Amino acid sequence: MELGLGQKQAQVTKRFGEMFRCKGMPAGVANVSLLLGNGERSGKVVSNYYFEWESLARAFAYIHYGLARPLFLFGSHGTGKTSLPEQISARLGRNFSKVTVGPSTEAFELVAQRVPSADGGMTTELGLLAKAMEQGDVFIIDEYDLMPTAEQKNLNDICENGVVYLPDGRIIRSHKDFRIFATANTNNTEDLDLSVNDRFAFMRMDYLPADVESELAYEHWMQLHSVFSNGSKADWKNHVSPQLDELVRSRVNVMIKVAEGIRENKAENDDSFFSTMSIRAVFGWIDELMLARRFDLNRVDNDEHEMLQALRRAFINGLPIEEQEEIVQLFQLKSDLKSIM
């Protein structure tokens, strides 16, 4: 029996929701029927990755359909600037590659390099960007705002027209599936050249809402607990007692409060405060806490000592010395450990 239009759209919406765990997705998702192929995926799919609908929809439209201009994703460390296109690509079975640039990067080295040939002369070898164009990769140029503006301008033809001219006369025209993203901490306006920024659509990336981060951290904790308990994280939901649920949620709540406090400090003191805390760092905090319990690393039965020592290993010890004590004080202020004793 052939499905009606409404049933087909419901099927598409269900499949889309299974592939992209998302907050704020409308009840009906139209025009994504091309997703309903064989469902094969390539790349590393992070199963607990969480999308926000606005950023997912815009990046998906560009990657999957090639709609509108390339995206320039900017925002603080750990807000998903790289992982957003990477995780969309992985779920769509698309090749993904990237390069990190800096103040000394020249556009030409992304396109081609002159290397010795077998006959003792020199030959032109394609760079990472040109290879991505030929292969049809989703390609990210990370830290784009650190690249000299004059060198950014040399990439304008690639961003707008998908074409590059090599010194040996070859012309590389991009594969139909080639997509290019720029990512950076800023929106590339310090040494502004509109001919560069006009090639992109700009989207600010931000941290996930606190309730979403709390739920992701809770799931991460429970999966680790399940691994240590029975060797598998797949069935963690079957091993959650009311007491464990309350205990973990209270500690996760502390962790997210601390992360938010660190981010607030960074926002208020951007020039003098180096550190900010991503959800990735929160996961690392949980990892260290669970490992310490598993292998008896703390040797002190005290919540504050246990959590602080795990935070040191996961985050604090990698910061400048002058900021370490400030983070310790912030932890003590935000943790309210009496509520979780």
Q: What is the pLDDT of residue 289?
A: 92
Q: What is the pLDDT of residue 34?
A: 45
- Retrieve residue 159's tokens: 């961003």
Strand ranges (DSSP E) for the chain? 22-23, 51-52, 71-74, 96-100, 112-116, 122-126, 138-142, 163-165, 171-173, 179-184, 201-204
DSSP per position, 92-160: HT--EEEEE--TT--HHHHHEEEEE-TTSSEEEEE-HHHHHHHHT-EEEEETGGGS-HHHHHTTHHHHH
**The CATH number, out of the four listed (3.40.50.620, 3.50.50.60, 2.40.50.140, 3.40.50.300), of the domain defined by the range 42-204:** 3.40.50.300
List every span in the chain annotated with CATH 3.40.50.300: 42-204
Q: What is the pLDDT of residue 117?
A: 75
335 alpha carbon, distance to own chain's centre: 27
Q: What is the pLDDT of residue 238?
A: 76
- Retrieve residue 282's tokens: 């929160």
Cα separation, 63 vs 86, whole angstroms? 10
96: β partners: 138
Amino acid at the residue 292: A
Amino acid at the residue 29: V
Amino acid at the residue 100: T
Q: What is the pLDDT of residue 340?
A: 40
Contacts of 244 (CB under 8 A, 6+ apart): 225
pLDDT along the chain (341 residues), means of 10: 54 72 70 44 76 92 91 94 94 92 93 79 84 94 95 91 84 93 94 91 95 94 86 75 90 94 85 82 94 72 81 93 90 67 35
Q: What is the pLDDT of residue 35?
A: 47
Q: What is the pLDDT of residue 180?
A: 95
CA distances from 6 to 12, 32, 34 (A): 10, 14, 16
